[in-house]
Amino acid sequence: MTASAPQENVDPAPNPHATAEQVQAAYSDTKLAQVLYHDWEAATYDDKWSISYDQRCNDYARGRFNAVVGAAVQAEHVPYDRALELGSGTGFFLLNLMLSGVATRGSVTDLSPGMVEVALRNATSLGLDVDGRVADAETIPYADNTFDLVVGHAVLHHIPNVEQALSECLRVLRPGGRLVFAGEPTTIGNRYARLLGRVTWATATRLTKLPGLASWRKPQAELDESSRAAALEAVVDLHTFDPAELERMALRAGAIEVRAATEEFASALLGWPMRTLEAAVPNGKLGIRWNFFAFKSWQRLSALDEKILSKVLPRKLFYNVMITGVKPAGPVSL
């Protein structure tokens, strides 16, 4: 099996689960792994990551855009007429940006048919003007100079040739158009996040074997499925980024006005264990009070990161990196 070629019509019934044989094959076929993993995740992805299309996520998406682009640029260019989300998943970033007034019309692309299907369904339910294609980020199936804005969230680290994908983004942008990518893991941040996740998962799954805690344990079949998903996740997460190197990569791709920004240090140190615990116990077991506590704690620590820690700590220590750049108005002299 090979990765899906760019196509206009989305497969209406992508295979939602991967067999053990497919998982094994995916270890030697990165793009097959991307399709299997993200088709697998598509139906439950929004619930897994607490994604919604209300004020909470509108503010989150717009906040990421604002943080890396800056107020002056927003005032001059927002709303953009036509925007593309690369590796859209269920449409989280683009749809929330559109709802917050960043763009008027949208297009979504993803290597996973299942993700494109869900993204288009989400857009329809929200009444947004969005089309979609199953597509490889390294060969975007749109003509030169089509879009005013290209965005992505947690996608660059899945792409084998990131610089090629950035070059493609610049190709499909109109002169003066902007790219904005957020939610990418830094190299140092990924190390401590993975460690915290592994420790929390091991602790939770062992403790729930103890007498009296059986109701806190997921059925073994669900735990096994999570382990298989984690095995694929290890294959599809290809890169981590040093912020300075990501800037150089965007410049080599041909962008100008390039800037990287980072966020989430204290909030990541708490957020990864909390998110892992939520995944390790039955859905709803932690209750509404936990959800409120988790969200408010993340908000407070994010404010600490933004207002204090970002001013005193090296940016490479933070978990997330964002990047923006602009397509030159004319030919670039190299």
* Among 125, 136, 241, residue whose Cα is nearest residue 189: 241
Contact 42, 20 (CB under 8 A): no
* Among 120, 135, 124, 95, residue whose Cα is nearest residue 42: 120
Pick the CATH number of 20-188+232-326 from 3.40.50.150, 3.40.190.10, 3.10.520.10, 3.40.50.2000: 3.40.50.150
pLDDT in tens, 186-219: 999 999 999 999 999 999 999 999 999 999 999 9
Strand order, beta sheet including 103-110: 130-134, 103-110, 80-85, 147-153, 173-185, 320-326, 256-263
Q: What is the CA radius of gyration of the chain?
A: 20
Q: How far apart are CA 143 and CA 226, in angstroms?
A: 39
Contact 130, 108 (CB under 8 A): yes
The dihedral over CA atoms of 115, 116, 120, 123, expressed in degrees to the nearest 10, equals 60
Which pLDDT belongs to residue 14?
38
Q: Which residues of 107-136 are buried (b: 16+ CB within 10 A; e: fewer)?
A: bbbbbbbbbbbbbbebbeeeebebebbbbb
Percentage of the chain beyond pLDDT 70 is: 89
Which pLDDT belongs to residue 72?
66
Q: Which of helix, strand or coil describes residue 145?
A: coil
Segment holding 152, helix H or strand E: strand 147-153
Contact 132, 107 (CB under 8 A): yes
Contact 323, 247 (CB under 8 A): yes
pLDDT in tens, 246-294: 999 999 999 999 999 999 999 999 999 998 999 899 988 999 999 899 9
Q: Residue 15: pLDDT above 50?
A: no
Which pLDDT belongs to residue 6?
32
Residue ranges per structural domain of the chain: 20-188+232-326
The residue type found at 84 is: L
pTM of the model: 0.87
Of 17-26, 142-151, 281-290, the least confident: 17-26
